[in-house]
Amino acid sequence: MTDAAPGDLWLLWLAFSASIAGFVGSLLGIGRIVVGRRRRLQAARVPAGGDDIAAPAVDQLPSQRPAGAHWSLQISGDRATPRVLWLDGRRHLYIGRNGVDAPADVVVEHPGVSRRHVKLEYNPVFDELTLHVQDTGNGTYFGAERRLLPPGDIVTLHSGDQVWLGHTIALQVRHD
């Protein structure tokens, strides 16, 4: 390389640097993808002994009431199999459509339901159940008159209340 002009060496060094920078940039991009996927998977896991207790693998029948369960949800509507879910000691749970980036605790597979449509939160001190309306494109409605609830709204639920996920899926709340 003794006959190479100084300008040629500069171009060779620039090309080499650009290829190294591109390689490092690719590694960083792959690292971001891996870290993001790990975070989503960790968010989907239930911490042992934490406030989040996973929803039961199988919905219960009304006769299968767990000990200590006072609140239940009956989920019904268009193309949804009617089912009952007893809320036995959960502090909070999300109801929505299945999604990798935002997993729901109770899955309702329907196009009118968002991935994390609503959040239910139980306060054992006051034996109180509240509904936290999430930012959805499908809307959340309350009562027989189907009053639209704005995103971010928090509603204290009582036995007999009805919440609509979109226009077709109904959640009937019961307290025994």
CATH code for the domain in which residue 104 is found: 2.60.200.20
pLDDT digits (tens, 9 = 90+) for 54-85: 444 445 555 566 766 778 888 888 765 678 88
* Closest C-alpha to 55, from 37, 69, 38: 69
51 is a domain residue: no
User: How does the average pLDDT of the chain come out, rounded?
Assistant: 76
User: What confidence score (pLDDT) does residue 144 get?
Assistant: 87
pLDDT at residue 44 greater than cutoff 90: no
Q: Verify that 37 and 112 share a domain, yes or no.
A: no
Q: Is the dihedral of CA 96, 99, 102, 103 positive or negative?
A: positive
Q: Who has greater pLDDT, 100 or 156?
A: 156
pLDDT at residue 106 greater than cutoff 60: yes
123 is a domain residue: yes
**Number of domains, the chain:** 2
105 is a domain residue: yes
- Range in 44-58, 78-92, 111-125 the model is least confident about: 44-58
Q: Verify that 101 and 161 share a domain, yes or no.
A: yes
Q: Where are the alpha helices (DSSP H) in the chain?
A: 6-44
Other residues' Cβ atoms within 10 Å of the Cβ of residue 15: 10
User: What confidence score (pLDDT) does residue 55 get?
Assistant: 45
pLDDT at residue 142 greater than cutoff 90: yes
Is the full-model pTM beyond 0.85? no
Q: Verify that 161 and 83 share a domain, yes or no.
A: yes
Q: Verify that 5 and 85 share a domain, yes or no.
A: no
63 is a domain residue: no
Instruction: Tell me the residue range of the domain where 40 lies.
Output: 1-45
60 is a domain residue: no
Q: Verify that 84 and 31 share a domain, yes or no.
A: no
Q: Who has greater pLDDT, 161 or 99?
A: 161
Q: Verify that 118 and 161 share a domain, yes or no.
A: yes
User: What confidence score (pLDDT) does residue 79 get?
Assistant: 63
54 is a domain residue: no
124-129 long-range CB contacts below 8 Å, 24 or more apart? 124/89, 124/91, 127/70, 127/175, 128/156, 129/71, 129/87, 129/156, 129/157, 129/173, 129/175
* Closest C-alpha to 139, from 158, 153, 121, 160: 153
Q: Verify that 168 and 83 share a domain, yes or no.
A: yes
Q: Verify that 76 and 116 share a domain, yes or no.
A: yes
Tell me the helix, strand and coil percentages in the chain, rounded to 5: 20, 30, 45
pLDDT digits (tens, 9 = 90+) for 144-154: 899 999 999 99
Q: Verify that 123 and 76 share a domain, yes or no.
A: yes
